[in-house]
Amino acid sequence: MHITVVPPFQIELEAEAVAALLPHGPRIPVVAGARASFGHRRAVPVTLVRPSPALLALHTACVDALEAAGAVIADPRHIRAGYRPHASDQRSGALAPGDHSSVVELALVERAAGSRRIAARIPLA
């Protein structure tokens, strides 16, 4: 299960260099909110995550660092004031409204030719 902190982006740096840009702060407790559907056809089931100050600060710090390094966010409507923290449903399960969890690491995911690969992990203390 994962919470999207930054939407897809492109950058010229290698994964390890990108990982070095991202914050290494404390774990962030989160609470699941309402169910929703994302995507251009509203076909992606998600659970919204209540936007705590710590989660919003993590999002902003990541976006600021990435943009300062030349990253291009695929859809800038979904950052800063447009950020809607969420967890996409997975085959293994989904968050239910009211569930408590924690963000324990940041994972940098590379997407290519329809596949995804975790290129780097940044543990949070």
Report the alpha-carbon distance of residue 4 to residue 32 in Å, rounded.
13
Instruction: Print burial letters for 54-69: b (CB count within 10 Å at least 16), e (below 16).
Output: ebeebbeebbebbbee
Q: So what's the pLDDT on residue 115?
A: 83
The answer to whether residue 116 scores a pLDDT higher than 90 is no
Residue 121, strand partner residues:
107
With cut-offs at 50, 70 and 90, classify the pLDDT of residue 73: very high
Measured between alpha carbons, how far is 88 from 94 in angstroms, rounded to an integer? 7
pLDDT band at 97 (very low <50, low <70, confident <90, very high): very high
pLDDT band at 125 (very low <50, low <70, confident <90, very high): confident
| Cα Rg, the chain, nearest whole Å | 14
Domain boundaries, the chain: 9-123
Q: Identify the band that residue 106 occupies on the pLDDT scale cut at 50, 70 and 90.
A: very high
High-pLDDT (> 90) share of the chain, %: 77
In angstroms, the CA 56 to CA 53 distance is 5
